[in-house]
């Protein structure tokens, strides 16, 4: 089984994309909507989320219950890859209510919830935070 290590370039791309999407998404959600700035930031956010989702599909861990290296958090990968084009399509069609609901849901599920899952004990980043950084042991 392929397990993730700190030297994995895919992990670096994933973490960079995910953290950037978390930060930029917050700015977009709480900023002024409909402006040119909102649109270009939104396009960049879609690229970041797509990058985070695609790279997560190839990251494997063996600590949590999984099937062939896929753990429950990978369901969020599929959800984001499904919802991203829908959210963009809603905006292009002028269905702003559906666009807002889709993008907000992706931010909460794909950034916040997924981020919290990655910090669980037994996950790679959870181990880095709880054990190596904070010195806590189970």
Tens-digit pLDDT profile for residues 70-86: 667 777 888 999 999 99
* DSSP 8-class letter at 19: H
Q: Average pLDDT over the chain, rounded to whole?
A: 86
Q: Is residue 72 helix, strand or coil? A: coil
Mean pLDDT, to the nearest integer, of 101-108?
Answer: 96
Contacts within 8 Å (CB) and 24+ apart, 107-112: 107/25, 107/26, 107/29, 109/76, 109/79, 109/80, 110/21, 110/49, 110/52, 110/53, 110/76, 110/79, 110/80, 110/83, 111/18, 111/21, 111/22, 111/25, 111/49, 112/22
Q: Is residue 13 helix, strand or coil? A: helix
Per mean pLDDT, which range of 41-55, 59-73, 105-119 is the poorest?
A: 59-73
Which residue do the tokens 């959210």 mark? 87
Q: CB of 19 within 8 A of CB of 125?
A: no
CA–CA distance, 107 with 102 (Å, rounded to integer): 9
**pTM of the predicted model, to two decimals?**
0.83
Q: CB of 60 within 8 A of CB of 3?
A: yes
């Amino acid at each position: 089984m392929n397990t993730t290590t700190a030297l994995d370039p895919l992990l670096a791309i994933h973490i960079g994309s995910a953290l950037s999407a978390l930060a930029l998404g917050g700015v977009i959600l709480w900023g002024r909507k409909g402006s040119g700035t909102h649109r270009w930031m939104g396009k960049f956010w879609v690229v970041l989320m797509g990058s985070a989702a695609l790279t997560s599909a190839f990251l494997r861990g063996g600590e949590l219950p999984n099937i062939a290296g896929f753990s429950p958090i990978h369901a969020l990968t599929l959800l984001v890859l499904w919802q991203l084009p829908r959210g963009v399509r809603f905006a292009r069609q002028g269905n702003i209510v559906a666009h807002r609901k889709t993008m907000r849901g992706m931010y909460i599920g794909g950034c916040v919830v997924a981020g919290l899952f990655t910090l669980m004990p037994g996950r790679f980043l959870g181990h880095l935070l709880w054990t190596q950084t904070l010195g806590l042991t189970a």
